[in-house]
Chains A and B, each alone.
Chain A
Amino acid sequence: MNQLAVSPSPHIKSPRTTRGIMLDVLIALAPALLAANILFGLRALLLTAVCVASCVIFEFLSRRLMKRENTICDLSAAVTGVLLALNLPVTLPLWMAVIGSFVAIVIVKQLFGGLGQNFANPAITARIVLLVSFTGQMTTWAVPFFYLEKSPDILTTATPLPSIASGESLPSLWDMFLGVRGGCMGETCILALLLGGVYLIVRRVISPTIPLVYLVSIASFSVLFGVDPLYELMAGGAVLAAFFMLTDYVTSPVTELGKTLFALGAGLITMVIRVYGAYPEGVSFAILLMNILTPYIDRVTKEKPFGGKKMRVARDIVKPTVVIAVIALVVSAALVLAYNLTNAGKDPNALDDTVQKAVEETLSTKDAQEIPLDESALSSDEACVRAAFTSPDKSIMALYVVSKGYGGDIDFVVAVDKDGSVQDVVVGRNSETPSLGQEISKDAFTEQFKGKSGVLSVIKNGMAGEQEIVAVTGATVSSKAAVTAVNQALKAFEELKGALSA
């Protein structure tokens, strides 16, 4: 007797499965992972292994706990693990990576119903949570090939984005393309990411719409905002996002028109945050915000059925485009505004309490006398003397100098005696990286300035010469800021020394 199977049509199906697609994404990520290992050493592999393992374990445990079927075989958790790892700095402590995996898999994905139900990209949400929680560790960038150096310490560097913001020297375009620069371990090597992206498009895992529109919009908005489009394209996580993060099926719109609007909005938010915002990198926030907009985009960009009502350009294309552009602009403007508001409300000339205290400390007096300043003469591009004070006996001068560090402006108070040599350097308010940039406020560093005069320079390591200061390991930018500030103070002192009694 034949056992006939009765099943609904169609009775043949394409060989492609969810698991196969996830496998394709993993294959496409392999070049980036390889590049990360070449650039940042085997720790990249370790970090990836930890992320993947913890993601898969969290997926397994949370499904088990919720009494749902086990889904680790669809490989989606593994993909999230690799994507998360590629979005982390290679130096990140492993336990933090595990927290990231927890946020990605349990909070963002499983609590909302698992595969296909999450409202935001798990990996990018985890990255943002880690960035906000562990800002220091999440913005510590290893120098490429540091593991080849003799010194066992990890040297750190800036990512090109704050360098663009502060106008410092940049890696060459070629280095940017190959990934020889600071950044998250998977986002630096553009070549590897392009290889993976092309693989995904050729295998028809993703449609080229989102990457193309996103990258073109970044380039266009760069030109519009007056920044170098090539650097903006290759710096930060733009390419990683274009091919691997924004194209996440679950959190991007389903129609081609929707995808176009989605990528356009992400490009706009990215560039507004980069150029006007507090964070040098806007990609993560752009992805998250557009993920949240996806249900709306899906609703306004439904497919027009063949033989259905005619699509009206004004209502069906222009309106959603305008609405989404407005939302994207408002949201990113709000981010920028929030940043500016927290810094506003203060008279830039009024002295900060910490500065006031530092001045009093260095002059060893409670009633310092302020010297009127002709500000323009005392400022350079790098540093600005904001105020100067003398002690009542006019034997010593304290100068309040602001210079640009790695995380923004740093306040310094430099005390100079009447011979023109530095007596003391106090580091005031700053946004430097804890345990790296902030080390410049330690005596070990500031003591070096005592008795120095003239023009000073920074060396990375070794024995300091007469006019040299040794930088804090891994905080060259911050150390440079200190030296620049002291140099500026000494220059200003030359003009102001008349105020001291001979």
Chain B
Amino acid sequence: MHNLEQKQVIELFKRNKIASLPGLRLPHLKDGQEMQTVSMPVPACVRIPMLQHMGHACEPLVQAGDTVCVGQKIGDSDALMSVPVHASVSGTVRTVETRTAYSGQHVQHVVIDTDGTQTLEHPDMPVDTPDRDSFLNAVRESGLCGLGGAGFPTHVKLGYRDFDRLDTLIVNAAECEPYITSDYREMMEHPDQILEGILLVMKHLRISRAFIGIEDNKPQAITLLQEKTSAFSCIQIIPLRNRYPQGAEKMIAYAATGRVIPQGSLPADQGMIVMNVSSISFLAHYMKTSQPLTTRRITVSGDAVASPCNVIVPIGTSVADVLHYCGVNGDLRSVLMGGPMMGIAVAQLEDPIIKNNNALTILKHPSGRNTSHDTTACIRCSKCIRSCPMHLMPAMLEKAYDRRDFAAMPALGVDLCIGCGCCSYVCPAKRNLTQKIQLAKPHVRRYLEQQNAKEVQT
């Protein structure tokens, strides 16, 4: 009893410390929160990229003219950081073409004309995973990569080499970006599946405790999951202070456990596995049905969308088809893959939906209604410094980048930037700080490599 109280005091202390997360108080704008998820009909054609995650691209396993079924593996690779790609529709491969993905890379796409039957490759049956290795292999075969946004291959994350060190599973259900509600819908619609997924991971990785971090602006989800997990003392719901970017990996890990992930190390190095709530739910679904990842729940919203909705979309469906189904028409100015803070602007509406997309956000004004006319010189107001969740000094990094001073940037922690966008958001001078820091990273990496090479020579 005494121990419990002490524990609570420590928790309370941590919570107070967490209150100091700089970040931003953003408007939630989650109007589509209570919209039941609907499945969109299969489009006439899908375009499935061979690279949908962080890491190496897959080689296509099909050719033009081949017939494919739903869940059939159409791309794979031997590289460690890769995840197989599956067909999301049944039909005929029209062509395999190389396109510029929205990440800027040239990626092969398998274009499939659908036949409308949605014939399954594998019948629904549970996956048998007697041991850890078979579990990890099943995770890879499921085609799962982190669904929260970064798209880190899940089997790599769970297959952490020093697996005895792992003691905590953190389920990331913060969903801190404005507009996006797809994780929230997952929690409201499949709470049991989430619980199964958590128990599955805990069992196979022999992890003793799990935290589910949910921002406190979703009280219904907190209550529901608290009810569902009440029987399990090892699973705890952590209501997180609603503050962007509470859902960033390092932030949520700190909020749940008080552990700081040092520069250059993984959460697993500190004993933690951080997984998105939709990822963990999908994992449970896959183990029950052996149906790989071929669809994604997308929140379609934004200030240019009259009625926001949550829709399940076959992977590879074009943005245009999704928008058409959701009734978003008219003159579109700014279409984002993801939320308004970290989303990527879509250049062509033919671009496909991929695994780690969770939202399409359509805004009336590109770049939040400010024009280059508003941009002034940096006035050193230090708002970017106060807002940076990583305690960096964005204004100083920007100035170093502007004078191409790559030697000064490692000391300023350039590689720690998580690209959350807080600095650009608050900047009254409307400077694109986040963009400059992201642009600087490869330069700095190259500079450091050159320096190392020089040292080796001398």
Tell me the A residues contacting B by CB distance below 8 Å. 2-14, 16-21, 71, 74, 76, 114-117, 207, 249-250, 252, 254-255, 302-309
- Contact partner of B421 among A6, A9, A20, A76, CB < 8 A? A9
**Among A4, A8, A12, A14, contact of B347 (Cβ-Cβ < 8 Å):** A4
- Complex: A30 Cα to B374 Cα, angstroms: 25
Closest-CB distance, B19 to chain A (whole angstroms) = 15
CB-based contact B340/A307 at 8 Å: no
Complex alpha-carbon distance, A115 and B379, angstroms: 7
Q: Please tell me if the beta carbons of B376 and A18 are within 8 angstroms of each other in the complex.
A: yes
Q: Which residues of B contact A5 (CB under 8 A)?
A: 333-334, 345, 366-367
> Can you name 5 A-B pairs with beta carbons within 8 Å?
A6-B347, A13-B370, A14-B425, A16-B428, A303-B391
Within the complex, which residue of B263, B335, B381 is in contact with A21, where a contact is CB–CB below 8 Å? B381
A14 touches B366 (CB 8 A): no
Inter-subunit contact A14/B393 (CB<8 Å) = no
B214 to chain A, nearest CB (A): 22
- Taking a contact as CB atoms under 8 Å apart, the answer to whether B334 and A4 are in contact is yes
Name the CB-closest residue of A to B387: A14
Measured between beta carbons, the chain A residues less than 8 angstroms from B435 are 8-9
B275 to chain A, nearest CB (A): 20
Residues of B within 8 A of A207 (CB): 382, 386
Given contacts A7-B366, A11-B368, A13-B425, 18 further A-B contacts (CB under 8 A): A3-B333, A4-B334, A4-B335, A4-B345, A5-B334, A10-B340, A10-B341, A10-B424, A11-B343, A12-B26, A12-B340, A13-B430, A17-B370, A74-B376, A303-B388, A305-B392, A305-B416, A307-B390
Q: Which 10 A/B pairs are nearest by Cβ-Cβ distance?
A: A5-B366, A10-B421, A8-B435, A305-B413, A13-B368, A254-B382, A116-B377, A12-B368, A18-B376, A6-B345
Measured between alpha carbons, how far is A20 from B261 in the docked complex, in Å? 38
- Inter-chain contact B381/A249, CB cutoff 8 Å: yes
Contact assessment for B416 and A254 in the assembled complex, using a CB-CB cutoff below 8 Å: no
Q: Which residue of chain B lies nearest to A255 when distances are taken between CB atoms in the complex? A: B385
Which chain B residue has the least Cβ–Cβ distance from A251? B380
In the assembled complex, the Cα of A7 lies from the Cα of B333 at a distance in Å of 11
B107 at the interface (CB under 8 A from A): no
- How would residues 396 to 436 of chain B score, 1 for a CB under 8 Å from any chain A CB and 0 otherwise? 10000000000000001100100101001111111010110
A207 to B383, CA, bound (A): 10
Instruction: Note all chain B residues with C-beta closer than 8 A to A304.
Output: 391
Q: How far is the CA of A10 from the CA of B26 in the complex (A)?
A: 12
Which residue of chain B has its CB nearest to the CB of A115? Answer: B377
Which residues on B sit within 8 Å (CB–CB) of A9?
A: 336, 340-345, 419, 421, 424, 434-435
Tell me which residues across on chain B come within 8 A of A21, comparing CB atoms: 379, 381, 428
Q: Is B262 an interface residue (CB 8 A)?
A: yes
| Distance (whole angstroms) from the CB of A199 to the closest CB of chain B | 16
Closest to B432 in A: A8
Q: Which of B214-270 contact A (CB under 8 A)?
A: 250, 254, 260-263
- Given contacts A4-B345, A10-B342, A307-B390, whether A116 and B416 have CB atoms under 8 Å apart is no
Query: Within the assembled complex, what's the spacing in Å between the Cα atoms of A307 and B388?
Result: 13
- Interchain CB contact under 8 A, B340 and A114: no
Residues of A within 8 A of B347 (CB): 4, 6
Complex: A117 Cα to B378 Cα, angstroms: 9
Do A254 and B380 touch (CB < 8 A)? Answer: yes
B62 to chain A, nearest CB (A): 31
CB distance from A251 to the nearest CB of B (A): 8
Contact flag A254-B393 (CB < 8 Å), given A11-B336, A11-B340, A306-B250:
yes
Taking CB atoms and an 8 Å cut-off, the chain B residues in 352-369 that contact chain A are 361, 363, 366-369
- Secondary structure dominating the interface of B: loop
A250 near B345: Cβ-Cβ < 8 Å: no
Residue ranges of B at the interface with A (Cβ–Cβ < 8 Å) = 26, 178, 250, 254, 260-263, 331-336, 340-349, 361, 363, 366-370, 374, 376-382, 385-386, 388-393, 395-396, 412-413, 416, 419, 421, 424-430, 432, 434-435, 438
Other-chain contact of A306, B348, B366, B374, B416 (Cβ < 8 Å): B416
B413 contacts which chain A residues (CB < 8 A)? 305, 308
Point out the residue from B343, B361, B392, B429 that lies within 8 Å of A303, measured CB to CB: B392
Instruction: List residues of chain B with CB within 8 A of the CB of A303.
Output: 385, 388, 391-393
Residue of B nearest to A204 (CB): B383
- Complex CA gap A5/B58 in Å reads 30
Minimum CB–CB distance from B177 to chain A (whole Å) comes to 10
| A17 x B393 contact (CB < 8 A) | no
B378 to chain A, nearest CB (A): 5
Least distance between A268 CB and chain B CB atoms (Å): 23
Q: Is the beta-carbon distance between B345 and A306 smaller than 8 angstroms?
A: no
A residues within 8 A CB of B340? 9-12
Please measure, in the bound complex, the distance between the C-alpha atom of A283 and the C-alpha atom of B396, giving whole angstroms.
29
Q: Name the one of B335, B376, B386, B416 contacting A115, with C-beta atoms under 8 angstroms.
A: B376
| Inter-subunit contact A307/B334 (CB<8 Å) | no
B373: nearest residue on chain A (CB-CB)?
A: A73
From the candidates A11, A16, A71, A308, name the one contacting B426 in the complex (CB within 8 A). Answer: A16
- Given the known inter-chain contacts A7-B345, A8-B434, A249-B382, please indicate yes or no for A307 contacting B250, CB distance below 8 A: yes
Instruction: Check A307/B425 contact, CB under 8 A, given A3-B333, A11-B343, A249-B379.
Output: no
Q: How far is the CA of A338 from the CA of B254 in the complex (A)?
A: 55
A252 to B390, CA, bound (A): 22
Q: B424 to A13, Cβ gap below 8 A?
A: yes
Contact yes or no, B380 A306, CB < 8 A = no
Question: Given the complex of chains A and B, what is the CA–CA distance between A252 and B341 in angstroms?
Answer: 30
Task: State the CA gap A236–B335 with chains docked (Å).
Answer: 57
Q: Whole-angstrom distance from the CB of B236 to the nearest CB of chain A?
A: 23
User: What's the nearest-Cβ distance from chain B to residue A206, in Å?
Assistant: 9
Task: Find chain B residues with CB under 8 A from A308 CB.
Answer: 262-263, 391, 413, 416
The residue in B333, B413, B416 that gathers the most chain A C-beta atoms within 10 A of its C-beta is B413
Measured CB to CB, the nearest residue on chain A to B178 is: A12
| Chain B residue nearest to A117 in the complex (CB) | B377
Given that A254-B385, A303-B393 are known contacts, is A12 also in contact with B377, CB under 8 Å in the complex?
A: no
Task: Verify A18–B428 contact, CB threshold 8 A.
Answer: yes
Bound CA span A252–B380, Å? 8
**Shortest beta-carbon distance from B249 to chain A in Å:** 11
Residue pair B263, A250 in contact (C-beta under 8 Å): no
Bound-state CA distance A307–B412 (Å) is 13
Name the B residues within 8 Å of A255 (CB-CB): 382, 385, 393
Complex: chain A residue closest to B344, CB-CB: A9
Identify A305's interface contact among B349, B368, B390, CB under 8 A: B390
Complex Cα distance A3/B426, Å? 27
Q: Are A306 and B332 neighbours in the complex by a CB distance under 8 Å?
A: no
A249 to B416, CA, bound (A): 26
Least CB distance, A92 to chain B, in whole angstroms: 29
Complex CA distance for A20 and B376, rounded to whole angstroms: 12
Cross-chain contact of B430 among A17, A71, A117, A254 (Cβ < 8 A): A17
| Cβ-closest chain A residue relative to B332 | A2
Chain B residues with CB below 8 A from A8, complex form: 345, 424, 432, 434-435, 438
A residues in contact with B262, CB < 8 Å: 307-308
A54: min CB distance to chain B, Å: 22
Chain A proximity of B442: nearest CB distance (Å): 15
Write out the residue numbers on chain A whose beta carbons fall within 8 Å of the beta carbon of B250: 306-307
- Tell whether A2 pairs with B349 under 8 Å between CB atoms, given A7-B334, A11-B343, A306-B391: yes
Chain A: minimal CB distance from B25 (Å): 10
**Cα-based distance from A20 to B374 in the complex (angstroms):** 11
Residues of chain A within 8 A of B381, CB atoms compared: 21, 249
Question: In whole Å, how far is B399's beta carbon from the nearest beta carbon of chain A?
Answer: 10
The residue in B263, B378, B379, B412 that gathers the most chain A C-beta atoms within 10 A of its C-beta is: B379
